[in-house]
Structure 1
C-alpha cells in the first residue's frame, strides 16, 4: 500500500508572478475586471493584491472595460442576439449599463435586421403553418433577447 502523502498546499504566488500570469491571460483574449478578480481570487491573491494588480493592468491599458464591452457586444450581435440578452450578459460580466449603452449607440445597431438574420438562419423560407407555429417562432426570437416591438415589425415584413 502506498503511504498517504502529506497535503501540500501550493505556496501563494508573488506579486511579480501574478503580474506575469495576468499578462499571459490578457495576451490571449480580453477579460472584464470582474473575470480577472475571480481568477486572481482562485490563484490565492488577497483583496489588496487584486485591487493593486487590476489598477496596474488598467493603467497600462492591458485591460479595458470599453474594449471588452465592444468585443463582447460585437460577438453577440454577430451571433444574432438581441438587446435584452446582450444587456443581461453584460450585467453578469460586471459592465456598467452606461458603458454598454454607449457601445450600442456607437455601433448604431439595427435590431430589426439582426432579428431578421437570426430568424432566417433558424427558419429559412419555411412558411408559417398555423398560429401555434407563429407563436413558437416569436418565442424563439424573444429567447434570443429581442423585444416585442422588433418581433412584431419582423412578422409584419414576413
Structure 2
C-alpha cells in the first residue's frame, strides 16, 4: 500500500503493470485487483487496462488459452477448468471458444490422469472403483467421461 498522499503516476503504474506482464500473463480481473491493492481509482485503472489491451500487452483470450492448456496438461476436466476460468473473470463464451479451438479429447485426458494416479493397479473391489471414480470427479470430469473410461479399462 502506498503511504497516504503519494499517488503513483500513470507512468509508474504502466511500468508496474508491464513488469507484472513480463513475468506471466494476467487476466483483466487479476490486474484490476493488483491496481486496487495500490489504491488506484477505478477510472484510472480502467484507462490503464484499455492502454494495455490496445497495445496487445494484455489479452483475456491469450490468458484463457494458456490457463486452459496448462490445466489440460495437468489432467483436469471440463468442470474444474470452467470453474477456474470463472474465478479469473473469463467469460463462458471465451472459455468455450478456446476449448472448441483446442478440440479437447476429454476421455484421453481423463485416462492420462487416471493412469498417472493408479498406473496398472487392478481395481480391488466396488469401494476401490468408487474411490477412483470420485478422484476423477474431483479433477473435474463429468460422469459420462468417467463411465466411458471405466468401460475401456
1:156 counterpart = 2:140: no
Question: Residue 119 of structure 2: which of 121, 124, 133 is its match?
Answer: 124
Q: How far, CA to CA, are the matches of 2:71 and 2:121 in structure 1?
A: 25
Structure 1 equivalent of residue 81 of structure 2:
86
Q: Aligned-pair distance for 1:150?
A: 0.2
Q: Aligned-pair distance for 1:9?
A: 2.0
Structure 1 equivalent of residue 47 of structure 2:
52
Question: Which residues of 2 match residues 3-152 of structure 1 at below 5 A?
Answer: 9=3, 11-152=6-147
Q: How far, CA to CA, are the matches of 1:85 and 1:141 in structure 2?
A: 11
Structure 1: stretches of 5+ with no match in the other structure: 1-7
Secondary structure (helix, strand or coil) at the match of 1:63 reads coil
Secondary structure (helix, strand or coil) at the match of 1:153 reads helix
Count of equivalent residues: 151
Structure 2: stretches of 5+ with no match in the other structure: none
Report the TM-score, using the length of structure 2 for normalisation: 0.97
Q: Deviations over 1:129-149 (max 9, x none)?
A: 000000000000000000000
Q: Aligned-pair distance for 1:24?
A: 0.7
Q: How far, CA to CA, are the matches of 2:42 and 2:24 in structure 1?
A: 24
Q: How far, CA to CA, are the matches of 1:79 and 1:62 in structure 2?
A: 26
Shift >6 Å, 4+ stretches? none
Q: Is the 8 A contact 1:70 1:103 kept in 2?
A: yes
Secondary structure (helix, strand or coil) at the match of 1:91 reads helix
Q: How far, CA to CA, are the matches of 1:129 and 1:118 in structure 2?
A: 19
